Amino acid sequence: MTLRAALAGLLVWLAAVPAAAQERPFDAFVLALSWSPSWCQDPEQAERAPLQCSPRRPFGWIVHGLWPQADGQPVRCPQSRERVPEALVSQMLPWMPSAGLIGQQWRSHGSCTGLTQERYFFAIRAARARIIAPDPQSLWPAGRVAPADLERAFVQANPGLDARAIAVTCREGALAEVRVCFDRRLRFAACPGVDERACRSAQVQVPGRRRG
């Protein structure tokens, strides 16, 4: 099966899937892209994710997760105890370079959607493929950026994306994430609730990739 055919099948399934009793209905997704150098500058976090934070693998944007939303708010459900098989973990490592992160995202978010593990992680890859993610380190080599400027760079790089469907977040003065909102068919969609939690700093630090 081609990638295009697989994606078409996934979108049909997403549009039609009912909300089972153990799941929560949802009407949108948020794709969270983390700026990995910000996360890895914390020694404790770097120790927990040696693949992600190794200077031999200088990651920039990585997928934090794909989160179901309902009425503009995150969907909550009891955490699943289902483990993600090693083969599927290995398949996801280029996008989410931490086995712990992959498992946690399934338990906390993927299991709320009614998707199988395979469909959920395929949806993550499909959503990430929809986004051209500008490199803030290249665009702002001085190491600081206005969140509004980074948001505009994403909007300009992605036809159909506008400011209502994206938010930049920060943590302790550094760039943390860019969050992009989609409807259930993975089309860009406005998300006021996500924008309300955007970074309000005038400028944030952009830590550089660690290189060996």
**pLDDT at 7 (0 to 100):** 58
Q: What does the pLDDT average to over 169-189?
A: 96
**pLDDT at 203 (0 to 100):** 97
Distance between CA atoms of 177 and 159, rounded to whole angstroms?
20
pTM exceeds cut of 0.95 = no
66 inside domain: yes
Please state the domain count of the chain: 1
**pLDDT at 45 (0 to 100):** 84
92 inside domain: yes
SS3 state at 212: coil
**pLDDT at 23 (0 to 100):** 56
**pLDDT at 72 (0 to 100):** 83
pLDDT at 87 exceeding the cut of 50: yes
Query: Amino acid identity, residue 141?
Result: P
Do the beta carbons of residue 60 and residue 34 sit within 8 Å? no
25 inside domain: no
6 inside domain: no
Longest CA pairwise span in the chain (Å):
51
Structural domain including 98 reads 33-205
CATH number at residue 87: 3.90.730.10
14 inside domain: no
pLDDT at 95 exceeding the cut of 70: yes
7 inside domain: no
Find the Cα–Cα–Cα–Cα dihedral 114, 118, 124, 125, rounded to 10°.
-150
Distance between CA atoms of 64 and 102, rounded to whole angstroms?
9
Which stretches within the chain are classed as H helix?
A: 3-16, 36-40, 43-48, 50-53, 86-92, 99-108, 117-129, 136-139, 147-157, 192-195
Do the beta carbons of residue 67 and residue 109 sit within 8 Å? yes
**pLDDT at 101 (0 to 100):** 96
Do the beta carbons of residue 197 and residue 169 sit within 8 Å? yes
pLDDT at 109 exceeding the cut of 90: yes
- Tens-digit pLDDT profile for residues 20-37: 434 568 999 999 999 999
